[in-house]
Amino acid sequence: MPHVETRTELIVTAGESPKRLDHFLANRDPDFSRTILQRLILNGHITVQGQTVKPSHKIKPGDQIVLIVPRPEPLDMEPEPIPLEILYEDDSLLVLNKQANLVVHPAPGNWSGTLVNALLYHLKTETGSLSNIGGKERPGLVHRLDKNTTGVMVIAKHDQAHANLAAQFKRHSIARVYEALILGVPKRHEGTIDLAIGRDTIERKKFSARTTKPKASATVYRVTERFGTIASTVDLFPQTGRTHQLRVHLSSIDCPILGDPTYGGKRVSSLEDIPIPRVMLHAKVLGFVHPMTQEEMSFSAPMPADMEETIQQIRTHMDSKTKQKKEGEKP
């Protein structure tokens, strides 16, 4: 059963060459990402020859490896009746359309009022549960969206589903499409932003190419609508899943997302006197293989009302400018 402790024993075969324990296990069972395996090793849930070891421990032929996936720990977080837009739900997962201004998981400054609190309330009502692989403070969370990013998210209800979905994210086999309202217009109608990023060496809360640990990252973009030269909408197809990747990449081509002062400064807080309510980024499509049934699934969420309204205000503004220009050109 997904919510009880499971125990697996492995014997390293004679044909195996010495390699790191976490690499060996990740290759043996692709349903577990290396990050999850490293956490289990460091917490003492994986042993070699009966001994706790480090993820970098070199295994050798004949070693007995015991892997224990513990039962989820009781959560201290309080369930809260926060409305959720559920797109799909079964015994293994839940897919939702996340609203704006909702922090995904508890953290300093946001110990309540989060998506996790809402999920705990919903699943308590539905007598369900959540996976615990991601840690006690992040039950069920296979991936994240920033506080003011809206759109489709998948939540794992048990560890087996979590491990499988995490492995799909790691292989970049998850289909993801975002849409954004950005400042200016990219020089090319479509293209790929290929820029390695990591935690900024000076501003530690930000990510950028100014980093000591760059990680390869790529984003394919396509312009979907232009508003003169002042703004445009784009579809974004992330090829990797780095933190703040889309925000950093668009800023790197001088087209930051409107409403994102972290990567666009003061100039993105308004456009031609039109106030921008939040970061104009929406996860509109998420596709994956169901971790239990192996069925291919795809979910989409329409652009939220505040983003639609902002775009309509910009359209109206541009139409007005065009009309004024034509009237000024009349003899």
- Enumerate the active-site residues: 146
Give the other-Cβ count within 10 Å of 237's Cβ. Answer: 17
Is the domain spanning 6-69 CATH 3.10.290.10? The answer is yes
List the chain domain ranges.
6-69, 172-284
Task: Tell me if 6-69 shares its fold with 172-284.
Answer: no
Distance CA 161, CA 3 (A): 11
Is the domain spanning 172-284 CATH 3.40.50.620? The answer is no
Tens digits of residue pLDDT in 98-150: 999 999 987 766 678 999 999 999 988 765 678 876 666 678 899 999 999 99
Say what the alpha-carbon torsion angle 126, 81, 96, 289 is, to the nearest 10 degrees: -40
The reported pLDDT for the residue numbered 1 is: 37
Tens digits of residue pLDDT in 222-246: 999 999 999 999 999 999 999 999 9
Tens digits of residue pLDDT in 23-70: 888 777 656 667 778 888 998 989 999 999 999 999 999 999 998 877
Distance CA 9, CA 64 (A): 7
Distance CA 134, CA 140 (A): 7
